[in-house]
Amino acid sequence: MSQENEKRSAAIEAVKLIRSGMTIGLGSGSTAAYMIQELGKKIANGLKIRGVTSSKNTEKLAIEARIPLIALHEAKIVDINIDGADEFDPYMQLIKGGGGALLREKIVAYNSKCNVVIADSTKEVPRLGKFKLPIETIPFATGNIIDLLAKERLKPQLRKAGNDLYITDENNYIVDLDILGFTNLAQLEERLLKIPGIVETGLFLETTHKIIVGHGSSTKTIDR
């Protein structure tokens, strides 16, 4: 079964957790897009939920799927947040931000009672780091951040979108880091967040409660 089918199966399985009356965090990326599509079908059949979006792109998809949306502050707390991941390890730690939405995604995850990750089987790794770790940086500080992180062996690469720089929903930049040589990820996260101008990192170390992985024609669920 293809990667796309695995993404769709994981998304459909996650939507089975949703009940009327819940506020749902709507993640970003291609796997989350299947979840939004599936929620749209359930809403057409009477499911009553409200969504909080994690990116402008997700907002667009959610409006197309006719999911009623509210602001994060109106929700106060999200019941279930469903989002994708670029990598997850046996400790349910994630790298996110391949799609550049890591900042809002982390904010929604922090404000959710239950975080469910949906992924295809290629995202499961014994150790995080083959995928480059995205960090979101303030443009004013980005040149200096890149120089500093280069000295710390993180091989920083400023993300581009074609010939232009990639700009996030919050009008910041993304810098992708090579973290393969780093084993203490909590320490790395702490170090990065101490540097003024780094707004957030794509390391999600403790937020995840459940991972639903598409595996061949079925799904596998990992619980914390």
> Does 98 engage in binding with ligand 5RP (CB under 6 A)?
yes
Q: Is 105 a catalytic residue?
A: yes
Ligand-binding site membership of 83 (annotated):
yes
> Does 169 engage in binding with ligand 5RP (CB under 6 A)?
no
Give strand pairing partners of 114.
Answer: 80
Region of 82-90, 167-175, 176-184, 216-224 interacting with ligand 5RP (CB under 6 A): 82-90
Q: Tokens in use for 105?
A: 């995604």
Helix 56-64 × helix 30-44 angle, to 10°: 30
CA distances, 195 to each of 146, 182, 189, 217 (Å): 11, 18, 10, 44
Q: Which of 25, 51, 97, 197 binds ligand 5RP (CB under 6 A)?
A: 97
Ligand-binding site membership of 98 (annotated):
yes
Ligand-binding site membership of 214 (annotated):
no
Q: Least distance from C-beta 113 to ligand 5RP, angstroms?
A: 19
Ramachandran assignment for 149, one of left (phi > 0), alpha (psi -120 to 50 degrees), beta (any other): alpha
Q: Least distance from C-beta 77 to ligand 5RP, angstroms?
A: 21
Ligand-binding site membership of 197 (annotated):
no
| Angstrom distance (rounded) from CA 76 to CA 96 | 23
Ligand-binding site membership of 86 (annotated):
yes
| Angstrom distance (rounded) from CA 210 to CA 120 | 14
Residues from 10 through 69 that contact ligand 5RP (CB under 6 A): 27-31
Q: Which of 6, 13, 83, 169 binds ligand 5RP (CB under 6 A)?
A: 83
Helices (H), the chain: 3-15, 30-44, 56-64, 72-75, 102-110, 139-151, 185-193
Catalytic residue numbers, as ranges: 105
Q: Which residues bind ligand 5RP (CB under 6 A)?
A: 27-31, 83-86, 96-102, 105
- Binding site for substrate: residue ranges? 28-31, 83-86, 96-99, 123
